[in-house]
Amino acid sequence: MSTPTLPPGLSIQKVDERIMTLNVGPQHPGSGHMRIIVQIDGDYIVACDPDPGYVHRGEEKMAEYRNYVLNIPHLERPVIHDSCNILYPYVLGVEELLGLEITERAKYIRVIAAELNRCVYIMYWLAIYGIFLGHSTMFMWPTGDRELLIDLLEKMTGARVTHSYFIPGGIRNDLPANFEEVCLRQVNYFEKRIKEYADVFYDNPILISRTEKTGILTRENAIRLGTTGSVLRASGIDYDVRKKEPYDVYDELDFETCVLKSGDSYARSKIPWLDMFQSCRIIRDALQKMPKSGSIRIKLKPNPKGALGSVYKRVESGRGALGCYIVSDKKPEPYRLKLSVPSFRNLIALPHLLIGEKLGNMPSVYWSLNYWPVEADR
Amino acid sequence: MSSDSEKEAIEKKPENSKPTGEKSTAKPTSDDKPATAKPTSDDKPATAKPTSDDKPATAKPTPAEKTPPAKKPPQEEPELPAFEKGIADKIVDKFADKTTVSFVKPDRVGIKVDRDKIHDVAEFARDVLNYDHVDSVAGVDYPADNEIEVVYHLSSYTDPTLGRQILELATRAQREDKPNPGNDATRLPSLRDIFYSVEFHEREVFEMLGVYFEGHPDNRRLLLPEDWADLPPLRKDFRNKGR
């Protein structure tokens, strides 16, 4: 049989008798909407080829047809649990293109919403991490506790998950009466709750024995592969966009970045949890420093046109640095919009971490990358 | 359309830089800025009128207009911050005729590079300027210019002075009207051997815009279905249904 001419993207591979190829996903509960093609030799992974794209929705193409305000609801779809943070760089970029300077109060409210959202995202991620490791308590607790913050965000924005709260020029609506008090109370209780996770999860010898010294990403590799966020900070590099390139009012707030040195799955799974304590700290500080009244939004003209040129803005999302590159040609719609998402950037590390690991460690290593398949696909 | 913005920037620069240059030199030497720089006393009014015969002739019509340009330079200066300008100058000095500066903003430097020099410029950025990874690779389609632009956003984890900085390298490939991705002239050298982090980004640009990266070890589809047979979807002539 002659080999047929293949369209670009397809290839024919020889089958080895010893090596078994295994498709994990895209329907497997352990992979999300993504396929990981692993080749195993006995119990050990010898090759790994991540195959994302099952939830590619063409957000970037869609953005070229909608004006700067209409783009907001669909741009938060890639990661609805972190919807404030994925809109953040877009909104900052559009504000630069439109030449808007937002009010102080709006900046503080944005930071509070972004930090609440970061915790909501991390709790969801942690719940799935728990279920990946067969730890049902760690699935139930975070899903329950994150309701606290979802309620807060619902009070702020009117929606439980897809908030569409940030808009160019400020935020959509002001805080409800009595919000500061409720927020402080809930956040304090939330912090007390997440402290208890140490007993049941992070100090649990079973978790430690399963995740420690697996999937080690060295400092050099973390830099070379361009990883970001919790993956990067677990490998000992102190890089947080909130500290390095503070946007809005992060430079006035009191917090630290969490860095661990070991670079294994355990460190990668611990960093987001440590981040939540810092988020609580930021929220408390912001509630204190926030101007108690004032305008929250600059009214936009209908169909505002961006200035000619391009802009690249980035923020620290729940997963890492999230960049947004907008090219404007003086039209109400962006000429080109590119989301540089942390999940996509961290995906490149997956083959490096998995090769040489046991197949049984795959779920914990994979999910410790703080990976959200829908976001990577856009 | 960054090409237009460049032209504007290039056109603006001489205008803006000249006044600053003149005025900054003028203030100490005090030749031709008597009208505005009154405080410095004696010789000004005296020397000004005789020496600047030709100057007032050109600038006479509006002494009122003369003051706004005098005010503008301080506004322009933060737009050309010294550190960022230093980065841009280093690259342009090294690759004089192959690169142009498209913008210098706070924390952002944009350089346009010829396609045959992009590899060298990236190597220079890594080895000399200490950029160590790529944040994002974006492809932009310009059907009017018959070109596709690929924009690399470089950043650095290891160099603390570059913590805020993003270096934007843009290069252009020829665009085919009837693309046959991988087999037409839409080609660029891959930066995978310099920045390992571009691996998946370049695969994405390949499928979304049909730019083939020469030297990339793994030019396969990433997000699109394996049997996608339409135009590369981020090209401008691919239209979404109903739009």
Q: Distance of CA A108 to CAs A114, A243, A249, A250, A282, Å?
A: 10, 16, 7, 9, 10
Q: How far is CA A363 from the centre of its chain?
A: 18
Per mean pLDDT, which range of A284-288, A351-355, B63-67 is the poorest?
B63-67
- Residue A300: alpha-carbon gap to chain centroid: 29
Which chain A residue is nearest to residue B9, measuring alpha carbons? A309
Q: Distance (Å, rounded) from C-alpha A359 to C-alpha A43?
A: 6
Residues of chain A contacting residue B107, judged by C-beta atoms under 8 Å apart: 245
Residue B74 CA to residue A31 CA, distance in Å, equals 55
C-alpha separations of A130 from A127, A137, A177, A366, B23 in Å: 5, 8, 37, 13, 66
Comparing A187-196, A227-236, B99-108, B165-174, the range with the smallest average pLDDT is: B99-108
Average pLDDT over residues A106-115: 91
Structure token pair of residue A213? 């010294």
> Does B108 contact A at CB distance below 8 Å?
yes
For the segment A333-350, what is each residue's pLDDT rounded down to a tens digit?
A: 899 999 999 989 888 888
Beta partners for residue B112, in sequence order? B100, B170
Q: Over 80: is that where the pLDDT of A5 sits? A: no
What is the average pLDDT across A271-298?
89
**What is the C-alpha end-to-end distance of chain B, expressed in Å?**
22
Interface test with B, best of A11, A336, A375 (most B CBs within 10 A): A336
Nearest C-alpha in A relative to B153:
A312
Q: Shortest Cα distance from A333 to chain B (angstroms)? A: 13
> Which residue stretches of chain A are H helix?
59-63, 71-75, 83-98, 104-132, 136-157, 179-197, 205-211, 219-224, 230-234, 241-244, 265-289, 342-347, 349-354, 362-368, 373-377
Q: Return the pLDDT at B32.
A: 43
The pLDDT-based confidence of A189 (bands split at 50, 70, 90) is very high
Average pLDDT (B187-210) is 88
- Output the average pLDDT for chain A: 87
**Inter-chain contact A308–B227, Cβ cutoff 8 Å?**
no
Mean pLDDT of A313-334: 89
pLDDT exceeds 60 at position B231: yes
Q: Which residues of B128-138 are buried (b: 16+ CB within 10 A; e: fewer)?
A: ebebbbbbbbb
* Local confidence band at A30 (pLDDT 50, 70, 90 cut-offs): low
The continuous run of DSSP H or E covering A170 comes out as strand A170-171
More confident residue, A139 or A16: A139
Question: Is the pLDDT score of B217 beyond 70?
Answer: yes
pLDDT of residue B14: 42
Interchain proximity B223–A65, CB inside 8 Å: no
Residue B184 touches chain A, beta carbons under 8 Å: no
Residues of A in contact with B234 (CB under 8 A): 60-61, 336
Distance CA A236, CA A259 (A): 6
Q: Give me the phi and psi of B204, to 5 degrees please.
A: -70, -45
A89: pLDDT confidence band, cut at 50, 70 and 90? very high
Which pLDDT does position B13 carry in this prediction? 42
Local structure of residue A361 (DSSP, 8 states): G
pLDDT in tens, A249-267: 888 888 889 899 888 899 9
Beta bridge partners of B149: B140, B172
Residues 6+ apart with CB under 8 A from A369: A231, A268, A346, A347, A349, A350, A353
pLDDT beyond 60 at B63: no
- Band (pLDDT 50/70/90 cuts) for residue B53 is very low
ipTM reported for the complex, 2 dp: 0.85
Q: What pLDDT is attached to residue B102?
A: 81
pLDDT score recorded for residue B108? 86
Tell me the C-alpha distance between B208 and A372, whole Å: 21
Which among B2, B133, B224 has the least Cβ separation from residue A53?
B224
Q: Which residues pair with A37 in a beta bridge?
A: A23, A49
Interface test with A, best of B1, B5, B108, B136 (most A CBs within 10 A): B136
Mean pLDDT of B152-181: 86
Distance from B226 to chain A by nearest Cα, in Å? 6
C-alpha B135/C-alpha B209 separation (Å) is: 19
Which CATH number is A57-343 given?
1.10.645.10
pLDDT above 80: residue B52: no
Q: Does the pLDDT value for residue A222 go beyond 50?
A: yes
A99: left (phi over 0), alpha (psi -120 to 50) or beta: left
Q: Beta B147-155 vs B108-113: how paired, if at all?
A: unpaired
Q: Where are the domains of chain A?
A: 57-343
- Of the two residues B98 and A196, the one the predictor is more confident about is A196
Q: Does residue A145 surpass a pLDDT of 50?
A: yes
The per-residue pLDDT of chain B, averaged, comes to: 71
Q: Which two tokens stand for residue A46?
A: 């010898």
User: How high is the pLDDT of residue A31?
Assistant: 61
Which residues on chain A place their C-beta less than 8 Å from a C-beta of chain B? 7-11, 51-53, 56, 58, 60-62, 65, 223-226, 232, 237, 239, 244-245, 308-310, 312, 314, 321, 323, 325, 327, 329, 335-336, 338, 340, 344-345, 347-348, 377-378
pLDDT of amino acid B87: 78
pLDDT average, residue stretch A279-288: 91
Residue with the larger pLDDT of the pair A55 and B85: A55
CA distances from residue A171 to A89, A115, A342, B185, B232 in whole angstroms, order as listed: 14, 15, 24, 46, 36
